[in-house]
Chains A and B, each alone.
Chain A
Amino acid sequence: MINIKYFLKGFFCIKDLNSPAIALAASFIAIGALFKNIGLNIQESIFSTFLTYALPGSLIMAESLIVGASLLNIFLAVWLVNARLYPMTVSLFPSLTHKSQPRLKYYFACHFIAVSAWLIMKENYKSVQRKYRLDYWIGVGVANLSVAVSATAFGFLISDHLNKDMMIGLAIVNPVYFICVMIGAMKTIQMSLSVILGSLFGISFYFISPEWCILLGGFTAGTLAFFIGELNGN
Chain B
Amino acid sequence: MATNIVLAILVTSLATYLSRFLGVITSTKMKETSKIFKWFNCLAYSTLSALLARIIIFPVGALAQADYFIRFIVIFICLMVFLISKKNFVYPTVLSALLLALLNSSF
Contacts and interface: CB of A to CB of B under 8 A. Distances in A.
Interface of A: 17-19, 22-23, 26, 30, 34, 38-40, 44, 47-48, 51-54, 56-65, 68-71, 74-76, 78-79, 81-95, 97, 106-107, 110-111, 113, 115, 118, 164-173, 175-185, 190-191, 193-203, 205-206, 210, 213-215, 217-219, 221-223, 225-226, 229-230, 234
A83 B98 contact: no
A126 B51 CA distance: 27
B40 interface: yes
14 contacts: A17-B89, A34-B62, A86-B23, A90-B26, A165-B105, A171-B63, A180-B78, A180-B79, A185-B45, A202-B51, A203-B54, A217-B46, A218-B49, A223-B43
Contacts, number: 332
Contact of B3 (A70, A167, A185, A226): A70
A218 B50 contact: yes
A85 B45 contact: no
Interface of B: 1-3, 5-24, 26-28, 30-32, 35, 37-63, 65-66, 71, 74-75, 78-79, 82-83, 87-90, 92-94, 96-102, 104-105
Given A71-B11, A85-B16, A107 B24 contact: yes
A168 B63 contact: yes
A17 B90 CA distance: 7
Given A52-B12, A169-B101, A203-B50, 7 more contacts: A52-B16, A56-B51, A71-B3, A79-B16, A175-B52, A196-B49, A199-B50
